[in-house]
Chains A and B, each alone.
Chain A
Amino acid sequence: NAGVTQTPKFQVLKTGQSMTLQCAQDMNHEYMSWYRQDPGMGLRLIHYSVGAGITDQGEVPNGYNVSRSTTEDFPLRLLSAAPSQTSVYFCASSYAGQGVYEQYFGPGTRLTVT
């Protein structure tokens, strides 16, 4: 049981380049989300999904796209990277429903945009 995995661990992009951050979980969790972590700002929600085929925007969605074609995978796409997107990105997953469930976090991807 690997939990939540993220690839790559580190990435450097030039302004304007595109890339996809990968996230996968093997816990059969319905809910998955992406956060970015910036110094002094904690974690902010980018996008989330409550199941395959369902996604929604979080607090800071601009510049990012997501899709959820399977329960296991929730990739985050940067269409045209900007220096403001330099950050550490965390993927998380949990059960969904009327309860409140613990979120499990991946190890993070450190992205630098030059």
Chain B
Amino acid sequence: AQSVTQPDIHITVSEGASLELRCNYSYGATPYLFWYVQSPGQGLQLLLKYFSGDTLVQGIKGFEAEFKRSQSSFNLRKPSVHWSDAAEYFCAVGRAGANNLFFGTGTRLTVIP
């Protein structure tokens, strides 16, 4: 069975500081991994995705994530956080041929000036 764990419920960082949001997945085959962002009162927007190939993927808004098969992780990073990055971030896992995604419980990011 597929599952996703986001161990940090809430993270607070200062504007300009670096950010890493953790995501661990459980899946027997090659996973397909996604990070979505949800701003308050909004729907979900795709930040980036990993299907295959280079394990470091670049996304929108300056975000990147690294797939580490040995650690079953897909952590999201940003070198310098902006106040507009305050939002909730969801990691999700899927597989080829099945469109359903399994989501983590989310990490809420607060950015302080």
Chain A residues with CB under 8 Å of chain B are 4, 31, 33, 35, 40-45, 48, 50, 58, 90, 92, 94, 96-103, 105-108
Contact = CB atoms under 8 A, between A and B. Distances in A.
A56 to B, nearest CB: 9
Interface in B47-62: 49, 51
29 contacts: A33-B100, A40-B9, A40-B105, A42-B4, A42-B6, A42-B103, A42-B104, A42-B105, A42-B106, A43-B44, A43-B90, A43-B103, A45-B101, A48-B100, A92-B44, A96-B99, A98-B97, A99-B97, A100-B95, A100-B96, A100-B99, A102-B46, A102-B49, A103-B46, A103-B101, A105-B36, A105-B43, A106-B43, A108-B42
Contacts of A42: 4, 6, 90, 103-106
A43 B44 CA distance: 10
Nearest to B91: A42
Q: Give the one of B43, B45, B103 with max A CB within 10 A.
A: B43
Given A43-B44, A100-B32, A107-B43, 16 more contacts: A40-B9, A41-B105, A42-B103, A45-B101, A48-B99, A50-B99, A90-B44, A92-B44, A99-B96, A100-B51, A102-B49, A103-B46, A103-B101, A105-B45, A106-B43, A108-B42
Nearest to A48: B100
Interface of B: 4, 6, 9, 32, 34, 36, 42-46, 49, 51, 90, 94-97, 99-101, 103-106
B99 A31 contact: yes
A94 B99 contact: yes
B84 to A, nearest CB: 19
Nearest to B42: A107
A37 to B, nearest CB: 8
Contacts of A101: 99
Contacts of A40: 9, 105
A112 to B, nearest CB: 15
Contact of A100 (B45, B94, B103, B106): B94
Contacts of A107: 42-43
